[in-house]
Structures are given as C-alpha cells and as structure tokens.
A and B are shown apart, each in its own frame.
Chain A
C-alpha cells in the first residue's frame, strides 16, 4: 500500500484529504507543519507528499527545500494551496514541488493527480 504524508495546519483540510486518499486505499499520515513533516520523514518513508504552503514553524516552501537538500528518499510532492498567483506556482516548483494544485480540490481530480505522480496511470 502506497504511503502519503499530508502536511497542512488546517485540521479539516487534513481530514478531507485523508478521507479521499483512504477511500482509494492509500495509507495516510498527517503533519501539522514542515518541522513535524521532516520528523515523520526521518522516522519512516513515504511515497508521496501533499504539502500546504502557509503553515507555522516551517512553511511548505521551506519543507520542500529542506527535503530536496537532504539524504531522505526523494519522492514526488504535490504543493496544494489557496494561493492562486502564477508566482506562487513558480516558487513551488523552484522549492522542489512536482505539481501545484489550487484548493479546494475535488476528490476525482486529486486522486487522478496522485496516481499520475505515483506512476499508477499514464498521464
């Protein structure tokens, strides 16, 4: 079972994404900010990250930069945010995101994107 780490400071958003992913038989863990996500990544491995931008302690850009500069396994990351400006998307890719998605997501859309990044379906 593929393992996905959801990183978001909003409890409702984490629960919404968790429900979508678990319904599709993914194993899900949660982190409230970038620091907690790095700690969880050191403890166990994930196949994909779902990363918010605005979070206390360490934001999503900071998390991705730390992750991409580390010896941790380099797996795909979807940055998912309320911020819809082109500059936000460019910055996400520069930090190490593989895909930029604007909230709120629809379940089918999220699952399709997750499966593409996990190599489960053709793009």
Chain B
C-alpha cells in the first residue's frame, strides 16, 4: 500500500526566544522549567564572557540531553579556564554520558587543554587518566604521540597503558616502537597488552 502523506492544519511550533536577552536574564532563564527556554539561554550566553561558572554549575544538574549539548557547545566556545576546569570536573562524574560529553567537548579545545594534559595523565584516579587518553583520540595537537609514549613508559595501571596502546595503533609512528616493546615486557603476563602492542607495532607509521 502506498504511503499517503497526512495533511495537517496545525501551526508549526516555533522554537524561539521569548524572554530578555541580557546576561543577567539569561542566567535566570537557565533555571526555567521549560527546556526550550533553558536551551536558548545556554545558547545566547555565548555572548556573555563571564558565563562559564554558572554554565558549569548547570551542566552537572541538567537532565535534558539537548540542553546539556548546548551548554557544552557554549562552554567550548567560551573556552576559558573556568570552562576547561568545569569540563575536567565532569570527568570525575559517576554519569558516563556526562563524562563522554565532556571528553568530546575537550577534544574541541586543543590549545586550552594542552597545558593541563600532563596533569590529567598523571591524575591519582586511573579512570581520569583513561579519560585523558580518550581526549587525545581526537585532539588535534602535535604532542599527542609524545604524551601517549610517556603514558606507556611510566603509568603502572594496565588499563591506562592499554588505552594508550590502542590509540598508538592509530596515530603512532616508529618513535613509539621502543616504548611499545618495553611495555610488552613490563606486562608480559597480560595477554591483552601483548595483543595490543603487537597490533600497534604492526601499524606504526614513518615519523
């Protein structure tokens, strides 16, 4: 049976700004009950240079995915130290969706994230170190391979090293060869590390 397009006379709902657009009003609207109002407020706060602290605070409480997405876009556009610190804080969240959103946002900020990357890769929490390696996956920065090599040379946690090896298999050059061979010896009793290092060694590109 052919599909028949249903005609409707209902007006198209407009997704429009309805309240004042000054920075103070926008911050108030971040608390609105209507997610559309919160989404527009988060979007327009991109023109308010001091908005990062309140956006970071809202990000951790916001349940609506579409609003969170806009908050993250605005924080990425602002890209100041508070925004970056807020995103780092999200890496410690118990909510995997928020962690992944923060990782994706931080991947958009190579120049802002680069100065803190060594600190993240040395964090006391191995989960945060793994997320830091995840950030490097799409971080367009010339130091990515150097950071990954430092991880596999020095990190004692098998899963942090395993995550770094996985990425070195994609972005690594022959510069990583000796470190990969040392890692394989260091975790000789871990079949996954043996598998992953062999795979990465076979994929290394010319430097």
Contacts and interface: CB of A to CB of B under 8 A. Distances in A.
Interface of A: 10-13, 15-16, 19, 53-56, 59-62, 82-83, 87, 103-107
Nearest first, the 8 closest Cβ-Cβ pairs linking A and B are A104-B192, A59-B96, A82-B159, A12-B166, A12-B196, A16-B195, A10-B166, A56-B100
Interface of B: 94, 96-97, 99-100, 104, 126-127, 130-131, 134, 158-159, 162-163, 165-166, 169-170, 190-193, 195-196, 199-200
Given A12-B165, A56-B104, A87-B94, A104 B193 contact: yes
Interface of B is mostly: helix
Contact of A11 (B99, B162, B166): B166
A62 B100 CA distance: 13
Contacts, number: 60
A25 B154 CA distance: 38
Contacts of B99: 54
Contacts of A11: 166, 169-170
Nearest to B104: A56
A82 B191 contact: no
Contacts of A107: 191
